[in-house]
Structure 1
Amino acid sequence: MTTVHITKNNLSHEAHVLEERAGEIYVHYVGTDKRLDEWVPAAAVTTPPTPASRPGSPARKRRRVSTRAESPIVIELDDDGEIMEDSAAPTPPAPADDAAAAAGPAVDTEEFDIAHHRQITARRNFDKVNFGHWQIKTWYFSPYPLAETEGGEGESVALPEPRIPGVARATGRSHGRTSDLLAGGLGRAHDAGGAGVLWVCDRCFKYMLDGTSWEAHTKRCTRKHPPGRKVYQRGAHTIWEVDGAKEKLYCQNLSLFGKLFIDIKTLFFDCDNFLFYIFTDAEPQRDHVLGFFSKVSYDDYNLACIIVLPPYQRQGYGMLMIEFSYEISRRSGRVGTPERPLSDLGLRSYLAYWVSTLIRFFRRLLTVLPPDLPKIPALDTSAFAPLSATKRRRSAKGWDGESTSPAPGDDTAALATLRRVESAPNADGSATTHVVVRCALADVARATHLRVEDAAFALNECGLLIRRVKSEEDVGEGEGDEGSVGDMVVISREMVEAVAKKRVVKRMCMERARVLL
């Protein structure tokens, strides 16, 4: 793999060359996500000098010597671990009576399959995707099973499960990789003529190779919303549950489209065991998709992958879907957690959810007044408003289309078992009241319906585990026995509010009363 320096915005970036074409190279910037890979002009490339050509710098080579005594083989490696071209040594003759030795070392099929898969998916096979009235730059490789003669008249075809010799068929991991090898866009040229552009219907997710087929399809596509049943509806926002076993073609097309923006997703054609939750926003004639998440129907993970379409990101839609996935687990009596590994964007989103959930819980837990105490109504000043003041008209789309009914609070049963209110009289006749809570981390995780490891990670990341003191009860019991002395983490309301301000913690995006499960 060749390493070069790319001059971009007057800055030099180290990058690996993945592919070359006339006047351009496709590079991956070192230390960044694959979604930032791109084609750059050859004029912006400067190849750094090799270590041997730098003045005063000796050549850095490593030698690996085989253990065969009869004819040692010396292989020289460069800094990247690649075999030097001039380091070829004569290969010792294979024993005539040993057919296996003559054939060479056995190649592990699994390792070869993984290496082949990584080589194929190193770069995007489509530069852009036209989705409705949006043209979106893709992030990752997606194994669309397209050929130049397929998809006639805008129709996509559900292909049978691919078979490649030497690859185990039973494992889902192998199925995901062999599905990748089926992509017809591997050799597609990415030129200015639009060959690197994919056309996808924003109603049924069928895919086409050209705008003419896409336009003909969209004129006769009658789908107004995703198939399946409504499981959440609040104003303009709706979440639909779609069973992958019942709506195979729709879910396959949805998964292929999502793979353009999800790097770690592996399964595309086998959707029978998956449930898809599709988040839509209402329009006068139909609902349009904002994002979706999926989960395996039979395991304890409440989410397998999640994506908010790039035009609708940074608007809180991902947080609403994460909250809904945890609500599914809560109603089924399970502790929710996403499937690993998490992408960098996924980890950031889940950390925000975990921190917000814990902060909202601690706020209610460390409040002296009961959460259901009636408040004194504020003075209605609308009668004193100037005549020229006009009220902004609310839209029927997006968050403006949401209803304004108050969201229910968290479970109060856990609060009653953990809280202890202590009051101390003051000299002026008043009293100072504090809420004291003593519990284990498992109690906090159980009350917030989080996994213990996720709650501990979030508390550590937001800085609420730094104030540690010796437990007085443990010290009293542990006289003469150092092994019984333990640590206790103290979390105050001031610390909670500091984190809430720094992390910009808001109220829940989802309203539990609107869940239709």
Structure 2
Amino acid sequence: MAFPLRAGDRRLDEWIAAARVLIDETAEEDVAALVDDTSDGGSNTLLSSPEPEVVPTRGKKRKSGEHEKMLPDPSSSDLDDRDHVTKIRNIDLLLFGQYLIKPWYYSPYPDDAPTPRRVLYVCPFCLKYIWTARSITWHRSHCKKKKPPGRAVYIKHKRKIYEVDGKVDKLYCQNLCLLTKLFLDHKTVYFDMEQFMFYILTESGTDKKEGEHIVGYFSKEKQSFESYNLACILILPPYQRQGYGRMLIEFSYELSKREGKIGSPERPLSDLGWLGYRSYWQSVLIDIFRNNVGARPSIRDISLLTSIHEDDIVDTLESMDMLRYWQDENTIW
């Protein structure tokens, strides 16, 4: 069954049944050839040991201002050209840890590669981006980070959520946002990190030496005048449709409850984000009605109990055909 896409999405894909999937037997060979073409040597250097003299392409720490110079100028009069550039996906493949992923959208990664590249290599721990296979091999052998910065605020079994301050760990959060833009069309903030907190969900491997791999995250403004409790949310493609999105959404509302505030996600939501929120709101409302049979809670009461904004409750009840307008007010049926 296909899910309808929200207006404005440019990915133009859909979930389909397994019976409709056609397997291209040459796909693996094409991917291997593309990765080989981006390496410095003739063979796939991801599987080989780097030579001692190899140095990473970004050995020196990049200043945040250098990132910003690569972005289109919003004040530019040539807006049509700028919009045309951002519609074109600029990276064919992303190698993130053990996963080879096809990006969905354009992301303004500064192209400081020695030659034009279409494969991007990103360290799964520090999120440093590199343009050659040999350099990422060298980096992975020297990178000492095995988890996100910040402090762990949630721990359950192999899963942890880290709270990262965008002001303290600015470069890490900038790299995270650039990675996010590959999979979110409406992502607009890449470098102004100081006003955001990031909550990063990780999962540990069976071996502690493997480190904690990023599953997804959400960001949140430190001070939101419109009561937004979430600015951006992403579950990386290899981990989607496994309940992680709901986990982060629920965690964002738990933060709102601790703060004694009513929250709502910032709009516009992505197509997958919208499906995740609608599913979460529906399940919360059903649990309330199931546990309070015979009671007639008001929308205000539900909002105070769940920290879900009244407008979101009304929209969800309407989608469930459980709301009627009677005696000049909305009534739950």
Whether the TM-score (by the shorter chain) exceeds 0.5 is yes
Partner Cα separation in structure 2 for residue 234 and residue 362 of structure 1: 29
* Among 9, 14, 33, the residue aligned to 1:33: 9
Partner Cα separation in structure 2 for residue 448 and residue 267 of structure 1: 29
TM-score (norm 2): 0.74
The alignment status of 1:272 with 2:114, answered yes or no, reads no
The alignment status of 1:302 with 2:229, answered yes or no, reads yes
**SS of the residue aligned with 2:219?**
strand
Unaligned runs of at least 5 residues, structure 1: 1-30, 38-108, 151-187, 189-194, 367-434, 471-484, 492-517
Task: Report 1:195-344 matches (<5 A).
Answer: 195-283=117-205, 284=207, 285=209, 286-299=211-224, 300-344=227-271
TM-score (norm 1): 0.48
- Find the counterpart in structure 2 of residue 456 from structure 1: 314
Runs of at least 4 residues off by over 4 Å: 485-488
In structure 1, give the amino acid aligned to 2:189. L
In structure 1, give the amino acid aligned to 2:144. T
* Among 254, 261, 280, the residue aligned to 1:353: 280
**SS of the residue aligned with 2:315?**
helix
In structure 2, give the amino acid aligned to 1:209. W
Higher fraction of helix: 2
* Among 79, 88, 99, the residue aligned to 1:123: 88
**SS of the residue aligned with 1:279?**
strand
- Find the counterpart in structure 1 of residue 100 from structure 2: 135
Sort the Cα spacing of 1:32 and 1:325 in 2 relative to 1 into closer, same or farther, 3 A.
closer
- Residues 396-451 of structure 1: CA distance to partner in whole angstroms, max 9, x if unpaired? xxxxxxxxxxxxxxxxxxxxxxxxxxxxxxxxxxxxxxx3x344322222222110
Unaligned runs of at least 5 residues, structure 2: 1-6, 14-73
Mapped contact 2:123–2:140 kept (Cα < 8 A) = yes
Higher relative CO (Cα under 8 Å, sequence separation at least 6) belongs to 2
- Residues 466-512 of structure 1: CA distance to partner in whole angstroms, max 9, x if unpaired? 6x7x6xxxxxxxxxxxxxx5467353xxxxxxxxxxxxxxxxxxxxx
**SS of the residue aligned with 1:460?**
helix
- Residues 334-390 of structure 1: CA distance to partner in whole angstroms, max 9, x if unpaired? 101111111221111111111111111111111xxxxxxxxxxxxxxxxxxxxxxxx
Mapped contact 2:125–2:147 kept (Cα < 8 A) = yes
Mapped contact 1:358–1:448 kept (Cα < 8 A) = no
Sort the Cα spacing of 1:115 and 1:487 in 2 relative to 1 into closer, same or farther, 3 A.
same
The alignment status of 1:489 with 2:322, answered yes or no, reads no
How far 1:330 sits from its partner (Å)? 0.8
How far 1:36 sits from its partner (Å)? 3.7
